[in-house]
Structure formats: C-alpha cells, structure tokens
Amino acid sequence: MRRLLLLILTLILFVCSLNALITPRHEWYLNVNFNIPEVSYIQINGTSLNFDVRFRGFTHNNMWQVNNIPMTYMISVNGSPKRLIAQLSEEMPSGIELSMRITAPDGAYASPGFMEITSTPRDVLNYLQNIHNQHRTMEFQLTANNDAPVTTVHRTITFTLMDE
C-alpha cells in the first residue's frame, strides 16, 4: 500500500512538473538602459556690450578707461572637470584693449583682477566641477591709449567650456 501511495504521489508530482513545463509562463523581461550625459553650459544675461569712450571715459596715465560694465552669468557643470575659455573674434585695433574680470563659482578658480581678452583663447575659469546653476558676476572694461585710432569696432567674445 505504501508503495502504491508513493507511486501515485510520484506520478502526481511528475504530472505537475510536466504541466509547469508545458504551460506557457506569463512573464516578460524588460531591459532598462539609460545614459546620464555630461551637462555643461553657461548662460550670460545680455547679448552685447556698448562702450562709448567719449562719455564714460576718463584720463589716467594717458589712457582712456571706460567704466566697468557688469553682467551676470549662470553656469552648470557635472562630470569631468571643465575650464571656461574666452576668445575674441579678431584682435582689437592697436592701442585698444578689452579686459574682463570674472567671479568664480564655488570650488573653481579665476585669475584675480582684469585680464585682457584677445583672439588667442584664454582660460578665464578653471576647475569647474559639480556646479549647479550658480549665478556669478563678470565685468568688462575697455581701455585705449592716445595712439588708438578713431574707429568703431565690433567684436564677438566666444565663451567655450572645455575639458580640463
């Protein structure tokens, strides 16, 4: 009797396992892939600087210096460390210099004081990393010596975030 009961129980288990193999499973698998890209951007409030030496300048050591024009910028950087580069579209005329001073976001580095901006790319901020929407200031200054030509000049400053 025990053998018969054991045989019946074994058959029941066999049929149940066979049923589990035959019956389709109602499971689906979904692979999830995602990418978090590096985010690096700078936004400057304003699109132009207008200097007028005749009305804003003053004489100091044979130089005309235009009062500083302040602006603000917002910057965000994640991922690898970045640096901010500034470059003029073309050189300024002889005797005229455009300079800027920029306040660095937390953890970053900026050269102290005003630095000349030329057509050669120049680092203006270094060690930009893990910065989220920080608002800071930048100022621009135009100086011209007595040898500067009488001219109207248009230049574009390009700001570029690059890997450190």
pLDDT tens per residue, range 73-120? 999 998 889 999 999 999 999 888 889 999 999 989 998 889 999 999
pLDDT at 115: 94
Strand partners, 41: 76
Helix spans in 30-163 (H): 53-56
DSSP 112: S
| Residue 149 banded pLDDT, cuts 50, 70, 90 | confident
Q: How far apart are CA 109 and CA 22, in angstroms?
A: 68
pLDDT at 111: 83
Q: What is the mean pLDDT of residues 151-160?
A: 87
Q: How far apart are CA 63 and CA 116, in angstroms?
A: 15
Per the domain annotation, does 9 fall within a domain? no
Per the domain annotation, does 59 fall within a domain? yes
Domain count, the chain: 1
| Residue 16 banded pLDDT, cuts 50, 70, 90 | low
Whole-prediction pTM: 0.70
Q: Which domain holds residue 82?
A: 40-163
Segment 150-158 long-range contacts (CB within 8 Å, at least 24 positions apart):
151/93, 153/92, 153/93, 153/96, 155/88, 155/89, 155/90, 155/92, 155/98, 156/88, 156/89, 157/86, 157/87, 157/88, 157/89, 157/98, 157/100, 157/117, 158/86, 158/87, 158/88, 158/89
Per the domain annotation, does 158 fall within a domain? yes
CATH number at 121 reads 2.60.40
pLDDT at 56: 42
pLDDT at 125: 93
Residue 23 has pLDDT above 70, yes or no: no
Per the domain annotation, does 150 fall within a domain? yes
Q: Which of 14-18, 50-54, 160-164 has the lowest mean pLDDT?
A: 14-18
Per the domain annotation, does 31 fall within a domain? no
